[in-house]
Amino acid sequence: MPVESSHLASGCCGLLDRAKTRFLIDHFKKKEHQLTETRNANAEAFSGSGVIMPTSSTDERHMAIRGLGEIALRVNNLDAMQEFYEEVIGLQLMTRVPNCAFFRIADGYGGDTQVLALFDRSQNPNYHGTDAATSTVDHIAFEIALTDFAGEKKRLEAFGLQVETTEHAWVHWRSLYVINPEGNQVELVCYDGSV
């Protein structure tokens, strides 16, 4: 590589990282604004309508959904939450920019990747913080193999976490529950035909 292009390439890396970060920030601000507008419109459309019943069975509808693409959580302490999902839960960090972190959960549909995204929105105007007690998120669950169940329970306990176990007979699941650093419940679940 000629000296000029080598120098140019090394100088561009910082610019590319900043451009990538700026793009991600702008993209997610736009998405957040669209989500707020959609939530407001949905709340207005469904207010006072009572219970909504399905008009057809799942088998009668066209199902375009093939999997879960992303779970996105707002966080108060991005560093602590990144450490929890990376070190305790064991997810692979895909990328980290100043106010968000993305983790690989598993292969998704059609070559996509299932992702857990953590967002620190504290620098956004009009942001009021998060509160696990009043969040609309009840819990998130990650699948594990039945053969890993006992080992994962011991591993989580070794982190000093209180681990609750539950069986859900109606779906033949065994579950481990822990609480993340911001008070959200996280479940590790496996299929067990004997349950």
pLDDT for position 126? 83
**Ranges in the chain, pLDDT < 50:** 1-16, 35, 38-39, 42-43, 45-46
Alpha carbon distance 173, 170 (integer Å): 8
Point out which residues pair with 119 in neighbouring strands: 74, 100
Mean pLDDT, the chain, as a whole number?
Answer: 79
pLDDT for position 16? 47
CATH topology for 134-195 is 2,3-Dihydroxybiphenyl 1,2-Dioxygenase; domain 1 (3.10.180)
CATH topology for 67-130 is 2,3-Dihydroxybiphenyl 1,2-Dioxygenase; domain 1 (3.10.180)
Alpha carbon distance 106, 109 (integer Å): 10
Say if CB 104 and CB 86 are below 8 A apart.
Answer: no
pLDDT for position 59? 57
Structural domain boundaries in the chain:
1-39, 67-130, 134-195
pLDDT for position 125? 83
pLDDT for position 135? 81
pLDDT for position 149? 96
> CA of 141: how far to CAs of 40, 50, 178, in Å?
28, 29, 10
pLDDT for position 35? 47
pLDDT for position 84? 97
pLDDT tens digits for range 19-29 = 555 555 555 55
Per CATH, 67-130 and 134-195 having the same topology is answered yes
Say if CB 184 and CB 140 are below 8 A apart.
Answer: yes
